[in-house]
Every structure is written in C-alpha cells, then in structure tokens.
Amino acid sequence: MCEDKKKEIERLLADSLANAAPEDLNVLENLLHGIKLKQNKQSRTYLNGVLNYQGQLTGEKTYEAEITLTPFALNPLNIVHGGITAAFCDTVMGTLVNKILPDNQTCVTSELKLNYLKPAKGSKLICKSELVHRGNNICFVTAQVLTEDHEIAAYAAGSFFIIPKPKHIQK
Amino acid sequence: MCEDKKKEIERLLADSLANAAPEDLNVLENLLHGIKLKQNKQSRTYLNGVLNYQGQLTGEKTYEAEITLTPFALNPLNIVHGGITAAFCDTVMGTLVNKILPDNQTCVTSELKLNYLKPAKGSKLICKSELVHRGNNICFVTAQVLTEDHEIAAYAAGSFFIIPKPKHIQK
Amino acid sequence: MCEDKKKEIERLLADSLANAAPEDLNVLENLLHGIKLKQNKQSRTYLNGVLNYQGQLTGEKTYEAEITLTPFALNPLNIVHGGITAAFCDTVMGTLVNKILPDNQTCVTSELKLNYLKPAKGSKLICKSELVHRGNNICFVTAQVLTEDHEIAAYAAGSFFIIPKPKHIQK
Amino acid sequence: MCEDKKKEIERLLADSLANAAPEDLNVLENLLHGIKLKQNKQSRTYLNGVLNYQGQLTGEKTYEAEITLTPFALNPLNIVHGGITAAFCDTVMGTLVNKILPDNQTCVTSELKLNYLKPAKGSKLICKSELVHRGNNICFVTAQVLTEDHEIAAYAAGSFFIIPKPKHIQK
C-alpha cells in the first residue's frame, strides 16, 4: 500500500512541477522542507515545519519565536494571512505555557484574541510572548507579533486550560 | 534557475519518501494535492488548497465551508490545532464579507476572537458564518465550528475592515 | 453613628438639590429609586437597582433583560457609556448561567468580549442572551444588545467559570 | 415642576433612610457624593463621580486611574462586579486615547475584551493603561487592573474608533 501511495505522491509532484510558476516552486520547496523538519523531529508539528518555526524561552515567563514568510503564508492581497498570524500566536503562547508547566501537565487553548494592527509583510515574522497570570486552571498569556523591522503587526491574548499530559506524549 | 529548483524539490521529496512513516505519506499527498488545487485556481490560497477548503454562500448573509482533517491539521495531542481552527474561521468569515461587498471593495481582518469549546477530531470540520452587522467601515461576523457529528467545537467572532480592492486582484 | 451618617446624607442631598440642573434631578431620582429596589430585594445589586434592571428566562437556554436609560448611563457624547453596556451584558449573561446551574453552584466571569456596533440611544436597552455551550468548568454565552427600535447596538460573548455557591448566598 | 421633583426626591431619600441597613447608608453617601462631583465638574460623568474615579497621564502613552470600592461596586458574591471592572477599564482606556488625540477628535469604543484573573476585593482598584498602537482610524490600548496590594485582578484590551469631536463638547 505504501508503495502505491509513494507512486501517487511522485505523480502529484511531477504534475505540479510541469505547470509550476516560480511562486509554486518556492512553496513546494518550502512545504517539503517543512515535512523533513517534522520527520527529523526538529519540528513538533507539520505546521511548525512548514512555517520554519523556531522558538526559545527568553526569560522565566517569556518566550520568543519566528517563522519564515513564504507565499504559503500570504493571502490574495499579498500580506500575511490573518489565520497564519493567529496560528503562529497560538503556537507561541501555548508553547510558552507548556514550557512553564511541570512535566505531567500540558495545556489546550481555551480562548484566543487577535488584534491586527498593521499589514504584515517581509521575509519573517517574530512573536514575543509573556505569561501574565498563572492560575490554578488557566494560564493567561499575551503576545506581540513584529515584522522584521520590529514594528508591531498584531497583538494577541489567550487563555490556556491546564490539563494532565496524556501518557503518549510524556517523555 | 527553475530547473535547479525543480531538481532540489525532487531531491527533497525522495529524501522524505525514503524515511516516511504512513502519517508522513498522508501529509505529503495532502500538501501536494493542495498545491495542485491552487495551481488550477480551484483554491484562492495555498492554505485553502492544503486544507482542501470548500465553501459557499447559504443565504444572503450566511456562508458555510468545510475542510478535510489530515495529520497536518493536528497538534501533538492529536486534536485539531487551535491555530488551524483560527485560520479556518478567519478565512470563512473574511470570505463571507468579501462575497457581500461590492466588486471594488475587499476586507482585512481587524480583530478575531475564538472560543474553543470542545476538542475537535474526526475527518472534517465545518464552519457556518453569519454577517451580524455591516457598518460603514467594519463588518462584524460570527461563526460556529462544528465537527462532522454537528457538535459545536468552537465559536468565533471577528471584525473586518472594509478597504478599496487593489487593482491587481479585481477581475 | 448611624444618625450622624443620616444627617450627613441629608446634608449632601440638600447641597445637590440647591445646585441641581434638571438632568441632575433625573439622576438623583433614578439613583434613589434604585437604592429602594435593592432595599426591597427587588434588585439583586445596587447597580441593577440603579439601572432599573428587569430580566427573565425566555426559554431553556435563553434569557432577556432590559434597563432604563437615564443620564446616569450616558457618556459625554450623550450616547450610552460603553462600560454600562458591558456591565449590562455581564449581568445578563451571568444571570442566565446562574439560572441554568443547579442550586449549589454559581459562576464568575472568566472573560468578556464586547463589540460596539452602533451608538446606543433612546429610553431603554434590551439584552437577549443565549447559552451556546455548557462545559464541565465553563459556560459560554453570547448576547445581543438592542435599542428600543430593536436595532442591534452591541454584541457580547463571555465565558463563565462554574464554582460552588458560597453558603451565605444559598437560599 | 422642579419643585415637585425635589419633593419627590426628598421623599425617596426619607423612605430609604427609614429602612436603611449600614451598607445602604454607605451606598447612599457614596452616590450622593458622586453626584456632587459631577455637579462641580470634578467628574466627567455621573458614573465616574459615583465610583470616585481619579486619573492622570503617567507618560506619553500611559494613563493610570483608581476608583474607590464601595458596596455599590460589588456583586452578590461580595467581589467586584465584572461589569464595574469592565466599565472602569473602558473609561480608563477611552480617556487615555482622548488625551492623546488632538482637540478636534475624540473616540468611541469599537471593541473591548476583559480577562478576569482574580477576584477583586479591598478598598480600591487601580487601572494602568498603555497605548499599544495608534492607527489612522483605530487606537489599540491594553490595561491591567490591580488590587490595592498591586496584584493583577484583570487584563483588558480595546480598540477605539477615532471620530471628529462634536462641537458641543469642544472646549
């Protein structure tokens, strides 16, 4: 079955390459590179791989990440798709909470609010997040999305529900 | 240059296929199928293609869409990534506004709010949106995200700023 | 001590009456009438009394209320103060949840979102709320604020955390 | 007519005083004191007067205010009413924007989001706000609500639509 699937995948790629505009080639390279990052466990999710997401704690309650902007992240107006910004913020804020929680806990998003302040463009997007409050059940986090010129493009705030970590994802 | 890029892309795919788990194969097929939908202009954005997004007006002020859930849309807990739900809602609500506005206008997201009510799972996700208010500058829209069993998984509300449509995307 | 306080209160009122514009008289009458409603237990809070708040369940998951608009509720632009609309919605949505919960539970607001769609004016404001989802920990509610002409003035959504009801407010 | 109204107001007060619990006396004193602040133009609105609202700019883009907590501000659980917190934040953030805008402009709230992080109690509430972004049409502001012990009780974010200032409120 796997061999048939592989053949089908190769056929799909050949098809795409035959009709590919330069933009399509960029996106194809980008997506395949992202899959590889996930396969190598350098990315936690396919989405992170595809966005070339890289992040790190920058303090006790702060975490920062960036993604590479390719045509995959743009909307028909050629600015960053609001949904990509939202997905980026959700990942950043959830990851911050995860890193702060003890090993046997994780979190799920309870609510998320985005304010889009400026059209986002350029080669990358940065997100800086901060844990504002850690309650018994909920962690409340804010984040700023910045362009490569460090101008604020969006503002996010979210509540993350603390839950026991399922065994299959405990290290 | 294009030929080099194509070679690189084929190399990346071969690499991925060599080490692919069944889940990786599903995602690869899914992503390549999505690119093709964008190339054939059946999808407006690469993201829509990848999510296999399909939508339509269902009334004067209502619009409904669905996406196919593949491992690409999941988070490490194996439920739909909050960011994918957010991106889906943003697309659905923005598309509704676009369809209602006259041909020389379009919109950008001003603010977006999501409430995640239940973990979303299954083979697809449905989103039903409604224009609540059309102002001079802003359209306000709400949406419900439903699982394939028609249980509510998330609730969204957003404000969309009306702007003149740039010439390059006018038909 | 009470007698001194009463004298002071009478002095404050005499002072106000001596310099009262007609608008001030309306507000004074309004506030004193509100206190009386609270004293008679016709209102649950002083704020409800002052706003002349009246509400009732209109279905299994829906609740509706109205308030009288006096100069107390207006901002310097002579439209309803956004904060009064917010307080009204918070009360309506929290009351709906309270009425649906069993006797030994109550709720506190976890998060509240308001979209102001039109300047609110007129003699009263109506709020219609609906329970969208009842989870184990959180109830999610939406509400529409309408003018006396039944035009939508604002839209609200809120999450209410379910907690055990303290003994002192159990009947 | 005014004289009749004054008689009615005095009658209402006498009535309230006759049956007043100590808490009622506090609220009466508080409300009448608030009316006086509005009459003397020390408060911009009756609501500000009643809450004993006092605020000031603390920087180029920051503004801070406090209110006195009396039983008027409490809900049946004896913690600050979520609606009072919302009204306080809306006033603080709107006032900040007003103070930053030129004399011929003012603003109305477009959307407001509150996260309640801790039950608020004590003798006063503090709100510190910051202008995050000033766009052409919208100012985006965040605020933190603190107890008298400087613990964070709530977090607010709001969008304020910039409008021409009506003549009647221009100085």
D20 and D59 belong to one structural domain: no
pLDDT tier for residue B3 given thresholds of 50, 70 and 90: confident
Question: pLDDT averaged over chain C?
Answer: 94
How high is the ipTM of this complex? 0.94
Q: Which of D107, D90, A117 is nearest to C119 (CA)?
A: D107
Q: What is the mean pLDDT of residues A112-134?
A: 97
Subunits with at least 3 CB pairs below 8 A relative to chain A? B, C, D
Do residues D110 and D144 share a domain? Answer: yes
**Domain of C117: which CATH number?**
3.10.129.10
Print the domain residue range for D5: 1-50
Position C171 scores a pLDDT of 52
Radius of gyration from C-alpha coordinates of chain D: 18
State pLDDT tens for residues A29-53: 999 999 999 999 999 999 999 999 9
Give the gap in angstroms from C-alpha D170 to the nearest C-alpha of chain B: 25
Is the same domain home to A125 and A163? yes
Is A73 in the same domain as A45? no
Residues 54-113 of B with CB under 8 A from A: 71-77, 79, 81-84, 86-91, 94, 106, 108-113
pLDDT tens, position by position, D10-55:
999 999 999 899 999 999 999 999 999 999 999 999 999 999 999 9
Residue D115: enclosing H or E segment and its boundaries? strand D105-116
Domain shared by D83 and D35, yes or no: no
Of D117, D132, D140, the CB nearest to A135: D117
The DSSP 8-state label assigned to residue D118 in this structure reads S
Asked whether the beta carbons of C98 and C107 are under 8 A apart, the reply is: yes
* Rounded Cα–Cα distance for residues B140 and C116 (Å): 10
Distance CA A91, CA D101 (A): 36
pTM for this predicted structure = 0.95
Give the closest of A16, A84, A108 to B35, CB-based: A16
CB contacts, 8 Å: B159 with chain D: 110-111, 159
Minimum Cα–Cα distance from C154: chain B residue: B133
User: Which residues of chain D have a pLDDT value below 50?
Assistant: none
Overall average pLDDT of the B118-128 stretch: 96
Nearest to D133 among A117, A135, A142 (CB): A117
> Do residues D45 and D69 share a domain?
no
Chains that touch B (3 or more CB pairs under 8 A): A, C, D
Of D118, D140, D152, which is closest to A155 when you measure between CB atoms? D140
Cβ-based contacts of D132 with chain A (< 8 Å): 117, 152, 155
Residues A57 and A31 in one domain: no
Does D93 lie in the same domain as D32?
Answer: no
Within 8 A of B152 by CB-CB distance, chain C residues are: 132-133
Contact partners, residue C165, CB within 8 Å, separation at least 6: C103, C104, C105, C106
Q: Which of C35, C50, C65 is the last residue of a domain?
A: C50
- Claim to verify: residue C1 and residue C66 sit in the same structural domain: no
D26: its two tokens: 């506090």
Closest CA to C127 of C106, C110, C142: C142
B113 in the same domain as B30: no
Residues B142, B68 share a domain: yes
The total number of structural domains that make up chain C: 2
Considering the domain architecture, whether residues C73 and C154 belong to the same structural domain is answered as yes
Residues of D in contact with B161 (CB under 8 A): 137
